[in-house]
């Protein structure tokens, strides 16, 4: 079933892009929204509100509305904690406002006459009350902990469902002509809103959502259920978009739908200009001139091959590695510990994150771009990461993991070489292969222009605009 669209009274088509993050470092969503805003679409991005963001913001002509997420399981846990605070409700107070002592409970106050024959019976009763109260508190604490643990196992699904419900609630107040769902975690709400309000629906699959990099894999039942949801909704979308040919073929084959349109996550030519002293990694970090600068750009997180990349510095004594992007303290400390253990800490720096429109400027001051993504899931195996194109647009030779989509670019244009990301020595081999042949390095830098002229956002955004203009 296809969903129809309509035009607002002002003549401007209104687009609601839904993304399950805070929309501060999502370059793909920003580029798509900006491209539509430039040609007259009224674009609102619905994102998540957190402690580092504000509810309403205007970014490059895009209205950003961040939604606070407060799922029912967190409210239920809060209620359970209030109800089971039995220590508060079971303590008795005397008239002076303080709890009676053990002596007063058993023998009474100093003003009360003690009846010796009843001491043992009174002691027994008080002791039993205390034992029963203790048992009751312990049982209720165990029950509370069990219920909380069970509910928190579904914490992320509940967060996603709550966010999708709020998409529908927001759409009721603000009418939209097109709902653009970025990944499966916003597709339910976007579909429900589009169907209820007669709008068009676009599904933008940034990766194979059910085959992505996760701390813990989906359990079989959860994965089966999500796959059924994606199958149902993808067939009811007006248009499906993804990021490369491999993912397009897999989505088409898996769900028996028309081949999705490929809109690659490439940088814009408009953002590139010659590097200056203000956007030089060497200057900003203080890297000595006799070091070659290796650059990793992107999220600094697990399964990106960063541990082995750091270890490869052992075999590259004349190289300095810069990890440029967002990281959390725990993982960053882990990487620093590895660098210290291998004796390369003095040749490693963390930098950024930097604004999206400055990534290629900083990258252009490095000597070599590295993309050491590990083959840990199908989404990574078939990835064509934005960093690869940012390196090439910045004029950098590239060394990357030997994975299909990245290898295709490297081999077709001759702009670098590949390596086995699980072997630090092989990463070093790939780097030395370029650095030890200065003529090859200069030749590769010249070839990067050809890649930039083909793989850039100006070319990719035209396909997005064609899709929107084709919607009824």
The number of helix segments (H) and strand segments (E) in the chain equals 19, 14
Q: Per the structure block, which two tokens stand in for 439? A: 């003529």
14-71+157-262 and 269-455: identical CATH topology: yes
* pTM (global) more than 0.85: no
**CATH homologous superfamily for the domain 269-455:** Glycogen Phosphorylase B; (3.40.50.2000)
Q: How far is C-alpha 340 from the chain's CA centre?
A: 28
Q: Using H for helix, E for strand and C for coil, what is the string for 406-436?
A: HHHHHHHHCCEEEECCCCHHHHHHHHHHHHC
More confident residue, 114 or 187: 187
Beta bridge partners of 64: 45, 57
Report the mean per-residue pLDDT for the chain: 86
- What residue spans define the domains of the chain? 14-71+157-262, 73-109+119-152, 269-455
Q: Mean pLDDT throughout 144-161?
A: 77
In the structure, what pLDDT confidence band is assigned to residue 10 with cuts at 50, 70 and 90? low
Written as one string, the DSSP assignment of 117-160 is GGHHHHHHHHHHHHHHHHHHHHHHHHHHHHHHHHHHTTHHHHHH
Check whether 130 has a pLDDT greater than 70. yes
**Gap between the Cα atoms of 366 and 34, Å rounded:** 28
pLDDT digits (tens, 9 = 90+) for 65-113: 999 887 766 667 667 666 655 444 444 444 455 555 544 544 455 555 5
- The pLDDT, as a whole number, for residue 355 is 83
- The pLDDT, as a whole number, for residue 102 is 47
Burial status of residue 165 (CB atoms within 10 A of its CB: 0-12, 13-18, 19 or more): middle
The dihedral of CA 60, 28, 156, 165: what is its sign? positive
Residues of the chain above pLDDT 70, percent: 85
Min mean pLDDT across 155-159, 236-240, 302-306, 421-425 is at 155-159
- The pLDDT, as a whole number, for residue 93 is 46
Check whether 268 has a pLDDT greater than 70. yes
pLDDT digits (tens, 9 = 90+) for 370-414: 999 999 999 999 999 999 999 999 999 999 999 999 999 999 999
298, 387 contact by CB (below 8 A)? yes
Q: Per the structure block, which two tokens stand in for 190? A: 């976007």
3-class secondary structure, 375: coil
Check whether 453 has a pLDDT greater than 70. yes
Q: What is the CATH number of domain 14-71+157-262?
A: 3.40.50.2000
- The pLDDT, as a whole number, for residue 158 is 84
| Pick from 365, 449, 370, 354: nearest CA to 416 | 370
Min mean pLDDT across 21-30, 247-256, 310-319 is at 21-30
Count how many residues are written for the chain: 472
**Gap between the Cα atoms of 186 and 47, Å rounded:** 10
Check whether 285 has a pLDDT greater than 80. yes
């Amino acid at each position: 079933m296809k969903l129809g669209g309509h035009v607002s009274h002002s003549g401007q088509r209104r687009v609601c892009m839904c993304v399950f993050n805070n929309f501060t470092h999502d370059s793909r969503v920003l580029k798509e929204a900006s491209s539509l805003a430039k040609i007259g679409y009224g674009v609102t991005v619905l994102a998540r509100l957190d402690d580092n963001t504000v509810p309403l913001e205007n970014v490059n002509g895009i209205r950003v509305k961040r939604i606070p997420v407060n799922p029912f399981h967190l409210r239920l846990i809060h209620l359970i904690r209030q109800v089971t605070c039995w220590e508060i409700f079971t303590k008795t107070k005397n008239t002076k406002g303080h709890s009676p002592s053990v002596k007063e409970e058993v023998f009474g106050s100093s003003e009360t006459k003690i009846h010796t024959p009843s001491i043992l019976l009174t002691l027994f009763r008080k002791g039993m009350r205390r034992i029963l109260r203790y048992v009751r508190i312990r049982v209720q604490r165990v029950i509370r902990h069990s219920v909380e643990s069970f509910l928190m196992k579904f914490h992320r699904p509940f967060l996603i469902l709550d966010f999708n419900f709020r998409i529908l609630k927001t759409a009721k107040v603000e009418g939209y002509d097109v709902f653009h769902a970025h990944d499966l975690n916003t597709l339910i709400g976007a579909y429900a809103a589009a169907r209820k309000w007669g709008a068009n629906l676009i599904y933008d699959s940034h990766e194979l959502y059910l085959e992505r990099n996760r701390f813990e894999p989906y359990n079989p039942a959860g994965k089966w259920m999500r796959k059924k949801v994606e199958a149902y909704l993808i067939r009811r979308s007006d248009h499906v978009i993804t990021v490369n040919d491999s993912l397009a073929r897999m989505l088409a084959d898996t769900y028996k739908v028309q081949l999705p349109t490929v809109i690659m996550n490439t940088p814009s030519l408009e953002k590139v200009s010659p590097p200056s002293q203000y956007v030089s990694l060497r200057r900003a970090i203080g890297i000595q001139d006799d070091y070659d600068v290796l650059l990793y750009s992107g999220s600094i997180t697990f399964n990106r091959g960063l541990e082995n990349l750091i270890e490869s510095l052992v075999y590259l004594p004349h190289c300095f590695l810069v990890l440029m992007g967002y990281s959390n303290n725990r993982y960053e400390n882990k990487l620093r510990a590895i660098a210290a253990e291998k004796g390369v800490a003095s040749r490693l720096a963390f930098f950024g994150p930097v604004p999206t429109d400055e990534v290629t400027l900083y990258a252009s001051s490095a000597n070599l771009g590295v993309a050491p993504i590990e083959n840990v899931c199908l989404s990574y195996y078939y990835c064509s990461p934005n960093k690869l194109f940012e390196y090439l647009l910045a004029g950098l030779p590239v060394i990357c993991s030997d994975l299909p989509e990245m290898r295709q670019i490297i081999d077709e244009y001759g702009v670098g070489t590949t390596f086995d990301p699980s072997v630090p020595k092989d990463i070093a081999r790939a780097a030395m292969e370029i650095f030890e042949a200065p003529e090859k390095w200069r030749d590769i830098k010249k070839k990067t222009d050809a890649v930039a002229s083909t793989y850039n956002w100006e070319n990719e955004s035209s396909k997005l605009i064609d899709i929107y203009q084709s919607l009824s």
